[in-house]
């Protein structure tokens, strides 16, 4: 069994077959991204795992603010330490950097990411935001969760200091395929959102699939489901 991130980063031959147009479409997406807020220029650490801690803490702080409105300094540090432990469990690094406590500069950066998300969702009823929507597994794919759903719109938050990547597109398309298979949320639109860069791109699921694959959502999602199920049977 694999995660949606592993699926998106692997099986290159399959993805190239079902998404022959995705590279060109991704270049257009990165050119068409709209800015909603200034870029966060402060980077506390260049280490991959420390950046992961900051980015995930920023997202969880935003979730906490949406749920509780006021988040105390103590609660901020509890969230940051919880994320650090989570990243440590997943880390493949052997340099011990991820074991170091979260420092003030990292917390400041995480709070800036949280604030950027608040700016983006200003005007939206934050009580209506569904965090970590659950998607069922299929074949070799574990049950998984996305970032945010509001109505029939799925938001994928990527807070790296980079443009959106092919793996980001594959990941969000995997969520859409699982939603199609389960008929759960009825996702119609998707948003790629980068709170660090203050940019976003929104499109319909129909357009995303058409531009990436050249076919219809039903055909594309059926191929994804068939592949995942066939891989299980082959093991």
Question: Is the CB of residue 127 less than 8 Å from the CB of residue 118?
Answer: no
Better-predicted residue by pLDDT, 231 or 216 = 216
Residues 30, 132, single domain; the answer is yes
> How far apart, in Å, are the Cα atoms of 3 and each of 115, 145, 169, 174?
29, 10, 15, 10
pLDDT value, residue 93: 66
Residues 29, 81, single domain; the answer is no
Among 124, 147, 174, the domain-final residue is 124
Among 124, 139, 164, the domain-final residue is 124
Residues 217, 157, single domain; the answer is yes
Residue 203 within a domain: yes
SS3 assignment, position 207:
helix
Residue 72 within a domain: yes
pLDDT digits (tens, 9 = 90+) for 147-182: 999 999 999 999 988 899 999 999 999 999 999 999
Residues 31, 135, single domain; the answer is yes
pLDDT value, residue 71: 87
Residue 90 within a domain: yes
Residues 180, 225, single domain; the answer is yes
Residue 42 within a domain: no
Better-predicted residue by pLDDT, 199 or 160 = 199
Residues 101, 19, single domain; the answer is no
pLDDT value, residue 201: 96
Residue 141 within a domain: yes
pLDDT value, residue 53: 93
Question: For residue 66, which of 150, 21, 131 has the smallest C-alpha distance?
Answer: 131
Domains: count for the chain: 2
User: Can you give the residue range of the structural domain that contains 99?
Assistant: 48-124
pLDDT digits (tens, 9 = 90+) for 75-122: 999 999 999 999 988 877 667 788 899 999 999 999 999 999 999 999
Question: What number is the average pLDDT over the span 61-71?
Answer: 88
Question: What number is the average pLDDT over the span 53-80?
Answer: 92
Among 124, 140, 162, the domain-final residue is 124
- Rounded mean pLDDT of the chain? 92
Q: With bands split at pLDDT 50, 70 and 90, how would you rate the model's confidence at 39? A: very high
Residues 133, 216, single domain; the answer is yes
Residue 168 within a domain: yes
User: What is this structure's pTM?
Assistant: 0.92
Question: Is the CB of residue 157 less than 8 Å from the CB of residue 56?
Answer: no
pLDDT value, residue 90: 82
Residues 133, 215, single domain; the answer is yes
Residue 43 within a domain: no
Q: How far does CA 89 lie from the centroid of its chain?
A: 19
Residues 120, 147, single domain; the answer is no
């Amino acid at each position: 069994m694999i995660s949606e991130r592993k699926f998106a980063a692997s099986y290159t031959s399959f993805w190239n077959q079902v998404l022959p147009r995705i590279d060109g479409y991704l270049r257009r997406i990165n050119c068409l991204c709209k800015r909603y807020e200034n870029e966060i220029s402060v980077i506390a650490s260049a280490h991959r795992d420390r950046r992961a801690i900051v980015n995930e803490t920023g997202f969880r702080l935003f979730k906490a603010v949406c749920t509780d409105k006021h988040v105390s300094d103590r609660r901020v540090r509890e969230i940051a330490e919880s994320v650090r432990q989570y990243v440590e469990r997943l880390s493949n690094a052997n340099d011990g950097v991820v074991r170091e406590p979260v420092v003030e500069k990292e917390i400041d950066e995480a709070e800036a990411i949280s604030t950027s998300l608040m700016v983006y969702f200003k005007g939206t009823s934050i009580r209506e935001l569904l965090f970590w929507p659950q998607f069922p597994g299929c074949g070799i794919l574990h049950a998984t969760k996305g970032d945010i759903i509001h109505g029939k719109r799925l938001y994928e938050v990527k807070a790296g200091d980079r443009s959106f990547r092919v793996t980001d597109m594959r990941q969000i398309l995997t969520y859409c395929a699982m939603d199609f298979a389960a008929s759960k949320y009825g996702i119609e639109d998707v948003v790629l959102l980068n709170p660090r860069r203050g940019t976003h791109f929104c499109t319909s699921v129909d357009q995303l699939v058409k531009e990436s694959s050249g076919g219809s959502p039903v055909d594309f999602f059926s191929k994804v489901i068939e592949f995942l199920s066939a891989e299980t049977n082959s093991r």
